[in-house]
Each structure stands twice: as structure tokens, then as C-alpha cells.
A and B are shown apart, each in its own frame.
Chain A
Amino acid sequence: MSEATVLQMIDHEAKDVPLEDIDVSQRELWVQDRKWDYFARLRNEAPVHFCKDSEFGPYWSVTRFADIMEVEANWQSFSSDPAITIVDPEEDFPLPMFIAMDPPKHDEQRMTVQGSVAPKNLKNMESTIRGRVQKVLDGLPVGEPFNWVDRVSIELTTQMLATLFDFPFEDRSKLTRWSDVATGGPETGIVESEEQRQEELLECLAYFTNLWEERAKQGLSNDLISMLAHGEATQDMSPQEYLGNLILLIVGGNDTTRNSMTGGVLALNQNPGEYAKLRNNPTVIPSMVSEIIRWQTPLAHMRRKATKDYVLGGKTIKAGEKVVMWYISGNRDERAIDKPNEFIIDRDRARQHLSFGFGIHRCMGNRLAEMQIRILWEEIQKRFHMVEVVGDPVLVPSNFVHGFTDLQVVLHTH
């Protein structure tokens, strides 16, 4: 289909576009935050929907909570190989990573590193994280606007990532850059060309290869690089596979929690009654954390490939076809979640959301993410009456990373 004939969703209302022409992957829907009505229509009228052509080729959209669970639970029929986003991998620059593998290799590689964020380790990290949050918050200007994304969300998640890798702390902004470059192609403006993107990712590989060599010589320690360098399933990885897994860990630990940290501020500002609830009762914070993660859905989708013909929701998905599970839609499915379009910080069953995925690829760092966001809000509430949003949020131009590049706020003390 040529560019000229592609129907642009952004130029129409969701109700006016013929069902078969709906393409929820179009970037402008995400840039302008207009995707919601399209997803509501798909959930109601075509919950398992085939888009015959798009920038990313033909793909199925799965938009209801229960259907997404069915796909998640069935890795034998829905493979994660070769990629977990709607974008097909670059043929000349493959990035194998365990999230985009099936058992048994997936299990072996994941098991090598998942101990780093096991609950027992997290308990030991709590005071370090709290100290950093306090320092970052105490360094913020009061009464004047600044970008919450840069000063708080990115800063905190990047510090955390540096700790998990035992990465040179003074160089930690490199991690933020590599995370952005990994998920953003030239069309996002993050890099100018695919060549530049690959060049920067190879710099990432070179930097981490030094760390690998250093850690391999030392005994096994508790950081991710050391675990990879000493792990039976990972010590002989190719450089490209090392890079792929690094990107997985960098993006997984960075682009996700970062956007929940920002999304929570925005959601509380848009729902002053909920903000008041929080002020009156800080014990609601753990439940609020889950609600923020549902509300934001920092990764909007995951992609699978059907390994065999499979009937889902009455539609036959053919072997080899691309299947996109839209977590962001499932998290607003009224069939599974009560009043899904309301942000309710003390909702029942707040933990039952799709943002971490389910099944064998479920987010490895979910408990760490929750802990970081919980501590952030505990410390915010001790210091500030309100984190007031004073500008329109600027969204990441992506249908995968659902987040922000800019959110101007002003702090008000108690």
C-alpha cells in the first residue's frame, strides 16, 4: 500500500473508520494521545482484529484482557521469537535477547539473572533507594517550573540501573541514552538514521564488553554483568546476544518505571479527589502504586508469532502471523476491571493488571519497580503538599514505550 492511500486514523473519529481499516499502530495516534477510542471500538466490535497492512506489515490486535491472558499463557502456540515489539528486527543487526526467545533457552538465560531482583535482594536495596530518592527530592527547586521527567523519573531509574549493573556511576547518563536509542528509530527523532542508531548501540556493547572482561576475572558477585559473565547459560554468548540482553535489561529497568513515575504525577493532577485521598491516608500508597502501573501501562504492547493455526475469539490466526497484545487496551477492559477508565488509588484487586505481562515472560523486575515507586511517593508525601502539573505533557512518539519526554511541574511544600 502506498503512503498516499493509507487512511490516517488521526484525521478521523474512531467511530467513522471502517473496522477493517483500523490501524492502532499509527504513530500520530500515540503522539496526540488519541488511541483510546480506537481501542474501545476494537474491544467492543472486533476484539481479535486483523490489520491487513501497516507501517509494520500485517498484524493481529488482541485487545481484551481475557484474550491477552490466553495468548500469554500459551507460549507453545504464540512464540516470542524473533521479537517482542510490533517492529520487525533489522535483518543485518539482530539483537537476540531472552525475552524474545522460547523455552528452554529463555528459561536458562532468565534464570541466570533473575536472582538480582529477587525479593530478598530488594529488601537489602530499600535503604539505598530511599536515600537516593531523598537526595533527589531535596535537590529540587520549590515554586518554580521544571521537567519532572528529567529531574526525577530519569534520574532515579538511571541510578537504580547503574546499581544493578554496578556501572560507573559518573557515566550513568549513557544508560539513559542507550535506553532511548534502543527503542527509538530515526522516525522518533532520537537518532538521525538507522546507521547512527547501530553505531551508538555498538558503543554500548564496547563499553559493556570492558565491564564484562573485568567482572569475568573476578569472582561472581551480585551485579547483572557478573551474573551474565559467570552464568553457565550466558558466559558463551555472542557479542550481539550480549548486546541484546543488555538492551533488554536497560530498557526493562529504565523506560518502564520512569514513565510510571511521571504518569502517577499526571494522573493525580487530573484526579484531584484521588490526590486528596492520598494526602489524607498515605497507607494507600502500595495500592496506588499498582493502580499507577495499570493506568500508565508503560509498555503498551508485546508481540508474538503464531506457531500454528489458532482460533482466538472466533477468529483464526494463521501460523506465522504477527499477534500484538495491547496491554494498554486490556488494562481498560470493563469485562475484567471495574470502572477501568477511572483512576482509583484504593481500588479492589489493584494488582490484577496486565502491565507486567503474564506467563513465562512476566516482568522480572516487577517487585523492584513497585518498591521504587512506593518509596518515591512516601518521600514526596513527607515533603510536598502538591506536585502541580503546569504544562501539557509531551508524549514519547511510540506505540511501544508509553511515556513522557516532558512534564512541567511546580512543587508546593506543606
Chain B
Amino acid sequence: MPKVTFIEHNGTEHSVDAEVGKSLMQVALDNLVPGIDADCGGECSCATCHIMVKADWLDKIGSPSDAEDSMLDLNPEREASSRLACQIEVTEIHDGLTVDLPEFQF
């Protein structure tokens, strides 16, 4: 099973097993990683599962869809590496993925 790491804003790392086929948002919730609200339950409609992908992973992760892009735009603290965790489906290629969590969800 791929291993992914979430790093909280305060530096606390959570390395967890990520089930293939689940979204990264669900993986965080399943493993009680704090800092993901997921108010809409994974519908790309609230932008409260905001994460920042580590630079060396950006190419593999790909770019957000138009719908995700619109939602990310609502957040004034958006960065170039920002994604919504609910829109990233875990596959085998994600083994070793590391993402940062923002200080606050918008």
C-alpha cells in the first residue's frame, strides 16, 4: 500500500498507509490527520481540504481541473502548489508523496 505523509503547519508529520482508489482527503480523515475539514464530503464544493503538494511531486500529481481551480481561487492564501485533497485519487504511483497542510482551512 502506498505511504503518504501529511505535514501539519506546526511541522508535525503523519505518515500513513493510503488505500488505492480513495481520495487523499479520505485517507487523511481515515487516519485522523488534523487540519482537513472536508465540509462538503468530497464534492469539490467547499475547498476545506486544501493541501500544498511538495515541489518534486507537482509533475506527477498533475494540475487541477477547472472546477477545482475555481474552488481554489476562493482562497486568498492559494499557492502554486495548492490542491484539494478530495480531487486526488490515490494510485500506486503516489507512494512516498508528501503534502503540507495550511495553517487554516478557508
Contacts and interface: CB of A to CB of B under 8 A. Distances in A.
Given A119-B103, A120-B77, A360 B40 contact: no
Nearest to A361: B74
B44 A73 contact: yes
A351 B37 contact: yes
A362 B74 contact: yes
B70 to A, nearest CB: 5
Contacts of A118: 75-77, 106
Contacts of A167: none
Nearest to A119: B104
B46 A120 contact: no
Nearest to B67: A73
Interface stretch (A107-115, A218-226, A377-385): A107-115
B76 A360 contact: no
A119 B105 contact: yes
B106 A351 contact: no
A37 B92 CA distance: 50
Interface in B42-83: 43-48, 67, 70-71, 73-77
A69 B76 contact: no
Contacts of A282: none
Contacts of A364: 74
B103 A69 contact: no
A359 B45 contact: yes
Nearest to A121: B76
Contact of A352 (B40, B67, B77): B40
Contacts of A367: 104, 106
A346 B38 CA distance: 17
Contact of B45 (A73, A122, A351): A73
Nearest to B73: A107
Interface string B84-106: 00000000000000000001111
Contacts of B30: none
A358 interface: yes
A120 B73 contact: no
Contact of A120 (B39, B44, B104): B104
Main SS class of interface, B = loop
B40 A107 contact: no
Nearest to B102: A119
Given A73-B67, A120-B77, A352 B103 contact: no
Contact of A358 (B46, B70, B76, B103): B46
B41 interface: yes
Nearest to B37: A351
A103 B74 CA distance: 12
B106 A358 contact: no
A72 B45 contact: yes
A363 to B, nearest CB: 10
> Which of A118, A122, A359 has the largest count of B CB atoms less than 10 A from its CB?
A359
A352 B105 contact: no
Contacts of A352: 39-41
A362 B105 CA distance: 14
B95 to A, nearest CB: 30
B46 A362 contact: yes
Contact of A351 (B39, B74, B75, B104): B39
A107 B44 CA distance: 17
A180 to B, nearest CB: 28
B74 A114 contact: yes
A119 B45 contact: no
Contacts of A114: 74, 76
B106 A119 contact: yes
A364 B73 CA distance: 12
Contact of A111 (B38, B73, B103): B73
Contacts of B105: 119
Nearest to B71: A360
6 contacts: A69-B43, A111-B73, A119-B106, A351-B39, A358-B45, A360-B70
Interface of B: 37-41, 43-48, 67, 70-71, 73-77, 103-106
In order of increasing CB-CB distance, the 10 nearest A-B pairs are: A119-B104, A358-B45, A115-B76, A118-B76, A351-B39, A359-B45, A73-B45, A358-B40, A360-B70, A114-B76
Given A72-B45, A356-B46, 7 more contacts: A73-B67, A118-B77, A119-B106, A120-B104, A351-B37, A351-B38, A352-B39
